[in-house]
Structure 1
Amino acid sequence: MDERNQGFGRAETPTRRGDASGSLARSPPPTTRGNRRATMSPIYLTEGIVIPDADLYWRFSRSSGPGGQGVNTTDSRVELSFNLAGTTALPPHLRQRAIENLRKRMAGGAVTVAVSEHRSQLRNRRTALERMEALLQKAIAPPPPKRKPTKPTRGSVRRRLKEKKRRSDIKKLRRNTED
């Protein structure tokens, strides 16, 4: 074992900041599934509705694609999950609307967004947050107003019939008149 790290666990290593504070850099505690919980920022859906960071679950893994020599050493792929069925951050009517709109994307009551577009885990995390925010905002949005059934205007009927007559005349010219 390295002398500098003696007495520290794997998740605790002394930091070098140039001061003698001897502070420790600790990784976040594992969740029940062994995944690390990462703190970013909460998701702001509307003015009064905020999904706290505690309701978001992050999972990191190795990503395929660009990365050069570091592709096999960094966990740049990000999965962001949100337990939609069990959250208290959304009012019941919005939660029900979101569940109905996202039922095909849900697995076990949770909605998951996976991102592995960028080489950087931080950029992938930001992209995942943006996608989750857009997905939830679209899911809780009220349905559009129903269309009022209306009759076609006189002008549109006249134009349609005029075009129909013109096409009919064109097709009449194609007929064989030798009968």
Structure 2
Amino acid sequence: MTLRITDSITIEDWELTEQFVRASGPGGQNVNKVSTAVELRFEAARSPNLPGPVKTRLRRLAGRKWTSDGALVIFVQDTRSQARNRELARERLAEMIRAALVAPKRRVKTRVSANQKRKRVEAKKKRGEVKALRKGPEV
């Protein structure tokens, strides 16, 4: 079952590894018996479907979820259902990749106009004069 991100990008099964572990939190006696939490591992660095710049942005977005061997690990234990946790993990992965697809806008350097600089200096001088007038005459 491949994971479809966009029309041009799909994640193949061999790139994803799922491991089910016991979850903490609510669930009563069930929480001690059933492994409902899912750890989804996506081999992002080795993925042929992601372009280089997208991998770089994805690595920055992932933060601590990115491992040293280039995998993205998503851990979900939100619900008591293993199937629902699995869906949530796949959705979160897809959202993270979609966010990495958007290239940030380049920042255009702007300059402060000479008039603005002049106004700032005049305001500072005026403020200084006001403060100087507060002082009493020196004896």
TM-score (structure 1 length as normaliser): 0.60
Gaps of 5+ in 1: 1-38
- CA drift of 1:54 comes to 4.3
Matches of 2:70 and 2:34 in 1, distance apart? 30
1:100 match: 56
1:75 match: 35
Cα distance change, pair 71–150 in 1 and its aligned pair in 2 (3 A): same
Gaps of 5+ in 2: none
Matches of 1:53 and 1:127 in 2, distance apart? 17
Larger radius of gyration: 1
Alpha carbons 1:43, 1:129 under 8 Å: kept: no
1:149 to 109, 114, 124: 109
Matches of 1:174 and 1:78 in 2, distance apart? 68
Moved more, 124-133 or 162-171: 162-171
- CA drift of 1:159 comes to 5.0
Higher relative contact order (CA 8 A, sep 6+): 2
Matches of 1:137 and 1:120 in 2, distance apart? 26
2:3 to 9, 18, 42: 42
User: Does residue 86 in structure 1 map to residue 42 in structure 2?
Assistant: no
2:24 to 64, 74, 88: 64
**For the aligned residues, what is the CA RMSD?**
2.8
1:152 corresponds to which letter in structure 2? V
Displaced runs of 4 or more, over 6 A = none
Question: Which structure's residues are more often helix, by fraction?
Answer: 2
Counting aligned pairs with the same residue, the percent is 35
1:116 to 77, 81, 84: 77
Matches of 2:119 and 2:79 in 1, distance apart? 53
TM-score (structure 2 length as normaliser): 0.73
* SS of the residue 1:107 aligns to: coil
Cα distance change, pair 50–166 in 1 and its aligned pair in 2 (3 A): farther
Alpha carbons 1:43, 1:53 under 8 Å: kept: no
2:67 corresponds to which letter in structure 1? M
Number of aligned residue pairs: give it: 134
* SS of the residue 1:109 aligns to: coil
